[in-house]
Chain A
Amino acid sequence: MKLLKLVPDNTNIHFLRWQWPFFISNILAMIAAVVLLFTHGLNLGVDFVGGQMIRATFVENSAAPVAELRDKVGSLGYGEPIIQQFGKPNEVSIRMKLPEGSEQHAELADAMANKITSTLKQAYPGVRIDGVDSVSGKVSGELFKTGMLALVLAMVGISIYIWARFEWQFGVGALFALVQDLLLTIGMFSLTQMEFDLNIVAALLTLLGYSLNDKIVVYDRIREDMRKYRQMDMRVLLNLSVNETLARTIVTSLSMLITLVALLLLGPDVIFGFTAAITFGIFVGTYSSIYMAAPILIWLKVNPKSFVPTESEMDRQERLARERG
């Protein structure tokens, strides 16, 4: 049986020829993400800003009457709702600020939820209430803090390990590449205004894990090649390493994409945003290994002499084979 080979043998694509244009567009993309974050902000869910979220499905309709809903809920006297479709067009989330004084009197929040759900049920007999979340401002603040703390600590911890296992330049390179991944993904959320909640933090962590995996594979090959070809120019060497790992990169990314696309198309709607974030992350994560994590090594002046010359595994095998005759 002939096996599937997506990447031909001995590729020699000159990836680093475009390192500057790519680097500049990286920086521009990151700046754009930050600008977006400041101008458009994130569509933060109740997990992070507090408030109430009611999820409803209009079972009998093909699409939810969003504008009508906005009027109906808005006229209840609890302020303007944020109404958003997610997953299928007949599924909506209705977000409200918690009523004044509900920090002290939880029954006020209940009253609001009851009022809204009963209004919905009356106006639309085919509506199904899928869930009600009420998060007080106190809890949402803490959730945000611990979520971010976990993210930042994970990144710092990872970078320190890479520094210890490789060289400090590799640690810095990985950290920068991870920051880029995160910024671009968060920028994507700002651009599309998809809801950003605690589950998305878990998605970001997944993306970091995957991206990191990719960086380590590339770095491992760079380290190996640096020990093997001690006179080679760094640019040529990096290019060689990226090419050598290209088949693996393509196959692994495709494998991930296959499962993720299945989840995206067939999976439950509640995890749509979450799967979308990871899918997007596969692309930026793979990209940043080649155009951020690798070239940074040149700018930080890593060279083959950074590594203790050791007999490579292949050389040793060859020598042993020779000795055995």
Chain B
Amino acid sequence: MLDFPPWKRAWLWFVTLAFAVASLPSLVSVAGGPWPSFLPKPEVHLGLDLAGGSHILLEADAGQVAKQRLESMEESVRGALRNAQPRVRIGDFSSSGGRLSFMVEDAGQVDAAREAILPLTSGAGLSVQRDWKIEVVDGQRFILTPSQSGIDQAVSGAMESVTEVVRKRIDALGTREPTIIRQGATRIVVQVPGLQDPKQLKDLLGKTAKLEFKLVDTTALPSDIAQGIAPPGSEIVPYAEAAPGQPALIAVKRLGGIKGDNLTNAQQGFSQQSNQPVVNITFNQQGGAKFAKLTTENVNRPFAIILDGKVLSAPNINEPILGGSAQISGSFSVESATQLAIALKSGALPVDLKVIEERTVGPDLGADSITKGAIAMLVGSVALMTFIMLSYGRFGAYACAALFLNILMIIGVMGIAGTTLTLPGIAGFVLTIGAAVDANVLINERIREERKRGRRVVQAVELGYKEASRAIFDANITNAIAAVLMFLFGSGPVRGFAVVLMIGIVTSVFTAVTLTRMWVAGWLRKARPSDLNL
């Protein structure tokens, strides 16, 4: 037990110092000092509750993904049947209840229809499973039901692009070191340290920025529009801001419009006529061609510019627009036009995002917490170490040295692992330190006890470590079990606690048991004491 050959000592010191040194960047950074840039910098990040900043949890509307998928499937099915040879005529199309259903007019074409639709229903990649189930009921009615795995995959894909868009938008705002993490199936956490007023950020993230150009249905009667009744093939859309005396609603054709997602650029500018803020957009080649076609075919008709389901304006097409660029007018301020430009440039969000949790911590509070926390920790540690040394003398000094190295090692490991220290993390720290101190108290009390029973010095020390180790081992294993369960099943703060606890359990046992034993053994060998002052 007390045998430490030189290679073992060297190895233990190497491990200890390697992790302890890794804590330096974090400590230097908290103290506000510089860190040479040529050295690696494994740093513990301070959570927003300690450092200040904004935390925003966004949730995507998964139902919307399914709905959009249904819509695009409808268009594909219609297109496929129209282009089939010979053309398959259908009617009674409905997309209610989360599935598509339609009648094939000629019962003889059912097989041809199935043939035409089949390629549209296969899953992505190499999966054998189909994303849509095709059923034919009553001889002529097709029912297409989406499979759950297909929907899940679509949601997951949508979330991927959502994350991408969110990242682009936040980068465009120029905020520093944002953290953007997907959480669960439909959520995204955005954390921006130091950001005090998250309003701008939230406005930007909340903007879906789905831009559409649709033709105005001029045949609709104003009285019908006011009641929300659209002619077949059209839909009623509200104005974003209705001018006084103007109708608040407008009828537009459902199909045949184009989407504004093929943009290469979007910039805030000013209108040459009215000098009002506008957004100038530039289509890519494909989008430009579509836009040119739409405007060429509909000269002298009005078309509506629709953003996120609301009409910004409905200007007349005076002449074909062939250059691939256009101007969006509306009642913008410079700020809102700039924001829309950022949103359009970063691409539309495939689904709407909603803020479901938001936390902001002021910088003063954060800085205050850190200073006070550091002072309290320092005072507490000094008082604790004094108490331990008064109680156990030389053995207490070993315990304190081990505790000091333990703290450095925890910070070091956390830095290397890139973990974030939050308030609950500090709780984990406190528990770890408690357990580490307890380990040494157990050992030292046991040595005392064995001495009282009249054992010789070396034997008492050996037994003290051996007998105390059992309880230390059991206590740490149970805490480790708890930590793992908390990490697996807990949420944010509970996990922050569990991570520190798991790291701390390992370093505590290492420093409080192994290191102190090495030091005590070294001292026993050198000094050969006949009695212990314990």
Query: Which of A256, A261, A265: most chain B Cβ within 10 A?
Result: A256
In the assembled complex, which residues on chain B have CB atoms less than 8 Å from the CB atom of A31? none
In the assembled complex, which residues on chain A have CB atoms less than 8 Å from the CB atom of B357? 134-136, 139
| A123 contacts partner chain B, Cβ-Cβ < 8 Å | no
Asked whether A270 and B479 contact (CB < 8 A) given A3-B391, A248-B441, the answer is no
Q: What CA separation (Å) do A55 and B52 show in the bound complex? A: 13
Q: What CA separation (Å) do A265 and B380 show in the bound complex? A: 10
Q: What CA separation (Å) do A110 and B482 show in the bound complex? A: 38
Q: Do the beta carbons of A252 and B380 come within 8 Å of each other?
A: no
Q: Do the beta carbons of A205 and B494 come within 8 Å of each other?
A: yes
| B72 contacts partner chain A, Cβ-Cβ < 8 Å | no
Q: What CA separation (Å) do A132 and B56 show in the bound complex? A: 11
- Cβ of A204 to closest chain B Cβ, rounded Å: 10
- Cβ of B231 to closest chain A Cβ, rounded Å: 30
Q: Do the beta carbons of A131 and B388 come within 8 Å of each other?
A: no
Q: Do the beta carbons of A270 and B481 come within 8 Å of each other?
A: no
Q: What is the 8 Å Cβ interface bit string for chain B, positions 96-122, against chain A (1 contact, 0 not)? A: 000000000000000000000000000
| B335 contacts partner chain A, Cβ-Cβ < 8 Å | no
In the assembled complex, which residues on chain A have CB atoms less than 8 Å from the CB atom of B379? 262, 266
Q: Do the beta carbons of A150 and B485 come within 8 Å of each other?
A: yes
Q: What CA separation (Å) do A316 and B364 show in the bound complex? A: 62
In chain B between 347 and 395, which residues have their CB closer than 8 angstroms to a CB of chain A? Answer: 354-362, 364-365, 368-370, 372-373, 375-377, 379-381, 383-384, 387-388, 390-393
Q: What CA separation (Å) do A115 and B162 show in the bound complex? A: 31
Q: Do the beta carbons of A270 and B423 come within 8 Å of each other?
A: yes
| B57 contacts partner chain A, Cβ-Cβ < 8 Å | yes
Q: Do the beta carbons of A317 and B485 come within 8 Å of each other?
A: no
Q: List the one stretch of B14-22, B216-224, B237-245, B431-439 in contact with chain A.
A: B431-439
Q: Do the beta carbons of B423 and A146 come within 8 Å of each other?
A: no
Q: Do the beta carbons of B437 and A278 come within 8 Å of each other?
A: no
In chain A between 170 and 210, which residues have their CB closer than 8 angstroms to a CB of chain B? Answer: 198-199, 201-203, 205-206, 208-210
In the assembled complex, which residues on chain B have CB atoms less than 8 Å from the CB atom of A213? 434-435, 438, 475, 479
Query: Which of B393, B434, B455, B478: most chain A Cβ within 10 A?
Result: B478
- The binding surface of chain B is classed by DSSP as helix
In the assembled complex, which residues on chain A have CB atoms less than 8 Å from the CB atom of B372? 266-269
Q: Do the beta carbons of B441 and A153 come within 8 Å of each other?
A: no
Q: Do the beta carbons of A146 and B491 come within 8 Å of each other?
A: yes
Q: Do the beta carbons of B360 and A133 come within 8 Å of each other?
A: yes
In chain A between 261 and 302, which residues have their CB closer than 8 angstroms to a CB of chain B? Answer: 261-263, 265-271, 274, 278
Q: What CA separation (Å) do A321 and B474 show in the bound complex? A: 29
In chain B between 26 and 65, which residues have their CB closer than 8 angstroms to a CB of chain A? Answer: 49, 57, 59
Q: Do the beta carbons of B533 and A3 come within 8 Å of each other?
A: yes
Q: Do the beta carbons of B494 and A150 come within 8 Å of each other?
A: yes
Q: Do the beta carbons of B489 and A150 come within 8 Å of each other?
A: yes
| A14 contacts partner chain B, Cβ-Cβ < 8 Å | no
In chain A between 117 and 153, which residues have their CB closer than 8 angstroms to a CB of chain B? Answer: 128-136, 138-139, 142-143, 146-147, 149-150, 153
| B321 contacts partner chain A, Cβ-Cβ < 8 Å | no
- Cβ of B289 to closest chain A Cβ, rounded Å: 38
Q: List the one stretch of B5-13, B129-137, B147-155, B462-470 in contact with chain A.
A: B462-470
Set A138, A205, A270: member contacting B369, Cβ < 8 A: A270
| B334 contacts partner chain A, Cβ-Cβ < 8 Å | no
- The binding surface of chain A is classed by DSSP as helix
Q: Do the beta carbons of B485 and A1 come within 8 Å of each other?
A: no
| A226 contacts partner chain B, Cβ-Cβ < 8 Å | no
Q: Do the beta carbons of B361 and A208 come within 8 Å of each other?
A: no
Q: What CA separation (Å) do A157 and B375 show in the bound complex? A: 36
Q: Do the beta carbons of A154 and B485 come within 8 Å of each other?
A: yes
| A165 contacts partner chain B, Cβ-Cβ < 8 Å | yes
| A167 contacts partner chain B, Cβ-Cβ < 8 Å | no
Q: Do the beta carbons of B49 and A270 come within 8 Å of each other?
A: yes
Q: Do the beta carbons of A278 and B430 come within 8 Å of each other?
A: yes
In the assembled complex, which residues on chain A have CB atoms less than 8 Å from the CB atom of B455? 317
Closest chain A residue to B395, Cβ basis: A3
Asked whether A157 and B482 contact (CB < 8 A) given A110-B202, A205-B427, A263-B380, the answer is yes
- Cβ of B256 to closest chain A Cβ, rounded Å: 31
Q: Do the beta carbons of B384 and A258 come within 8 Å of each other?
A: yes
In the assembled complex, which residues on chain B have CB atoms less than 8 Å from the CB atom of A132? 358-360
- Cβ of B344 to closest chain A Cβ, rounded Å: 21
Binding site for B on A (CB under 8 A): 1, 3-6, 9-10, 55, 57, 104, 106-107, 109-110, 114, 128-136, 138-139, 142-143, 146-147, 149-150, 153-155, 157-158, 161-162, 165, 198-199, 201-203, 205-206, 208-210, 212-213, 216-217, 220-221, 224, 244-245, 247-248, 251-252, 254-256, 258-263, 265-271, 274, 278, 313-314, 317
- What are 20 A-B contacts defined by CB distance under 8 Å? A4-B390, A10-B452, A107-B206, A114-B199, A129-B362, A130-B364, A130-B365, A146-B491, A147-B494, A162-B474, A220-B470, A252-B441, A255-B441, A256-B434, A260-B430, A263-B380, A266-B380, A270-B365, A274-B427, A313-B467
